[in-house]
């Protein structure tokens, strides 16, 4: 479990194939800031650009750790297939931590495409085209995770042409741009999206009819 509050920015410095075919995954070596691994142990969960991964080895002297990522995860995520200059990191939530963002599972629901990223006033406007399957989960002032960062949706516009989907607009303050990898985005960049967990359960209850108001029993007799 995560909150979407980035705890460090690292780099994928090496990628090794775990097999000879496309059905095999990869082993990633991630370099992290000094001291980041001080409270990390083998088997711990760390989200990479919003995707929950398991620490498989540690090298505190080199400030690096490794994860093994399956071919399925590589197919369903963006930005984890090769070396990268900056990648968002978040350690798993502890029971006594503050929930600074929103409840995030670390499971990527879909890949979005940046349609616009430009300064506006003192901040930056980020617009992302989300795939059609996620459109019904996006709402004005709702929460969404973009490359692991908890953000608030400022507007939602349904797109009719091409494959459809929805374009969401998000405001990024300078602190977010400076302290995450989002500042390196540009038009056409692919990003990992995770919808709000609450929206996921509401959708399920609507499908099953569980949100129907139960009839009040008449106890007058």
| pLDDT reading at 52 higher than 70 | yes
Could you list the residue range(s) of the whole structural domain that residue 20 is in? 8-91
pTM of the shown model = 0.90
Please check whether residues 114 and 203 belong to one and the same domain. yes
- CATH number of the domain to which 24 belongs: 2.40.30.20
User: In this structure, is residue 67 part of a structural domain?
Assistant: yes
Which pLDDT tens digit goes with each residue over 121-160? Answer: 999 999 999 999 999 999 999 999 999 999 999 999 999 8
- The stretch 27-52 carries a mean pLDDT of 97
Does residue 11 contact residue 85 with C-beta atoms inside 8 Å?
yes
pLDDT at residue number 219: 61
Q: Which of 66-70, 141-145, 202-206, 212-216 is predicted least confidently?
A: 212-216
Please check whether residues 82 and 115 belong to one and the same domain. no
pLDDT at residue number 102: 92
- The stretch 169-189 carries a mean pLDDT of 97
Please check whether residues 118 and 150 belong to one and the same domain. yes
Please check whether residues 87 and 149 belong to one and the same domain. no
């Amino acid at each position: 479990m995560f909150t979407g509050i980035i705890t460090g920015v690292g780099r994928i410095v090496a990628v090794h194939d775990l097999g000879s075919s496309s059905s095999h995954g990869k082993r990633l070596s991630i370099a992290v800031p000094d001291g980041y691994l001080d409270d990390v142990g083998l088997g711990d969960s760390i989200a990479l650009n919003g995707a929950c991964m398991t620490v498989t080895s540690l090298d505190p002297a080199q400030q690096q750790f490794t994860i093994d990522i399956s071919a399925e995860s590589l197919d369903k995520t963006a930005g984890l297939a090769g070396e990268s200059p900056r990648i968002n990191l978040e350690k798993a939530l502890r029971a006594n931590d503050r929930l600074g963002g929103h409840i995030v599972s670390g499971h990527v629901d879909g890949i979005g495409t940046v349609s616009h990223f430009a300064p506006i006033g003192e901040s930056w406007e980020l617009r992302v085209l989300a795939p059609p399957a996620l459109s019904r989960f996006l709402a004005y002032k709702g929460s969404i995770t973009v490359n692991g960062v908890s953000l608030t949706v400022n507007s939602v516009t349904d797109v009719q042409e091409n494959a459809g989907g929805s374009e969401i607009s998000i405001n990024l303050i300078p602190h977010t741009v400076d302290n995450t990898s989002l500042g390196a985005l540009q038009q056409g960049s692919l990003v990992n999206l995770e919808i709000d967990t609450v929206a996921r359960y509401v959708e399920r209850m609507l499908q099953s009819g569980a949100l129907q108001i139960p009839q009040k029993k008449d106890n007058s007799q």
